Amino acid sequence: MFDSGVGGLTVLDALRAQLPDAPVIYAADLAGLPYGEKSEAQIAARVSGLLGRMTERLKPRLVCIACNTASTIALASVREVLEVPIVGTVPAIKPAAAMTQTGTIGLLGTAATVRQTYVDQLETEFAQGKRLLRHGAGELVAAAEAKLRGAPVDQAVIERAVNGLRSQPGGEEIDTVVLACTHFPLLIEELGQVFGPGVRFIDGAQGIARRIASLTRGQSFARAHADSALFTGSDGDSALMPALRLRGLESVARF
């Protein structure tokens, strides 16, 4: 399971609930974080290069790109070169369109995700007749990383993210918010408090877990040792260990 940082742990949580016996290696490109501020070319090169090397070395039976930014930019090119099944993360616009009562959906992602034509295509395909307001809230990525290491969340960051949607024409009508970055569900309580009780959130984690369960149906799993994490640029981060252990990731190595 691959992300730029700790965001993919929200997908891991959903996967654990579906497939508790599946051994997982959680890989985070901390040396490349944040992806949302990088160019398309930089992200595509990093993700293809790293996943190519990791897959060769670790031989997983399936790769999950638990990152909207990496998936919306690099999923197609990674699928070209890797031979294992790859499950990507797609902004949950389709279920959001089915949920909204007001017809106005907000989408919070990284700056790189919200500008992707992939998102335009999802909007055209699944949100016809709805209004989709997008906001690149990259600051939330650092806030989620800090929260998971036990630091307090800066309320001003949450307010700026919410305001980025609410201040757009029609923003007051938003009743459904797509969390189109895997880091953002880590801040769902804080976001919920500022958006208020009339807003519901949706993200892709459950759908990804169901997809992985369906692709591995009938396969047997045996965990020979405790699951672990791999980080680029770091072989340990003691502040993060409690959050990793909580998810069954008992050790960290550097990749």
Which residues have a catalytic role annotated?
67, 181
136/223 with CB nearer ligand DGL: 136
**Under 8 Å between Cβ of 123 and 195:** no
Question: 77: Cβ–Cβ under 8 A, 6 or more apart, which residues?
Answer: 44, 48
Identified binder of ligand DGL from the candidate list 110, 122, 133, 207, rule CB under 6 A: 110
Closest CA to 210 of 2, 18, 20: 18
Is the CB of 4 or the CB of 55 nearer to ligand DGL?
4
The residue from 69, 104, 116, 176 that contacts ligand DGL (CB under 6 A) is: 69
| Residue (75 or 223) nearer to ligand DGL, CB | 75
Cβ atoms within 10 A of the Cβ of 34, count?
A: 20
Of the residues 27, 34, 65, 92, which one makes contact with ligand DGL according to CB under 6 A: 34
Applying CB under 6 A, among 182, 207, 212, 244 the residue interacting with ligand DGL is 182
Indicate the residue among 7 and 207 with the shorter CB distance to ligand DGL.
Answer: 7
Q: Identify the CA nearest to 79 among candidates 55, 58, 98, 103.
A: 55
Phi, psi for residue 244 in degrees, rounded to 5: -70, -45
Instruction: Show the binding pattern over residues 200-239: x = contacts ligand DGL (CB under 6 A), - = does not.
Output: ----------------------------------------
Count residues near ligand DGL (CB under 6 A): 17
Residue partners of 43: CB distance under 8 A and separation at least 6: 35, 69, 70, 73, 74, 112
Instruction: Give 132's contacts (C-beta < 8 A, 6+ positions apart).
Output: 93, 105, 107, 123
Q: Please identify, among the stretches 65-73, 93-101, 165-173, 194-202, the one whose residues bind ligand DGL according to the rule CB under 6 A.
A: 65-73
CB of 36 to ligand DGL, least distance (A): 3
CB of 111 to ligand DGL, least distance (A): 8
- Of 249, 144, 205, residue with least CA distance to 17: 205
Does residue 34 have a cis bond before it (omega within 30 degrees)?
Answer: yes
Whether the CB-CB separation of 105 and 179 falls below 8 Å is answered with no
Residue ranges in contact with ligand DGL by CB under 6 A: 3-5, 7, 33-36, 67-69, 110, 113, 141, 181-183
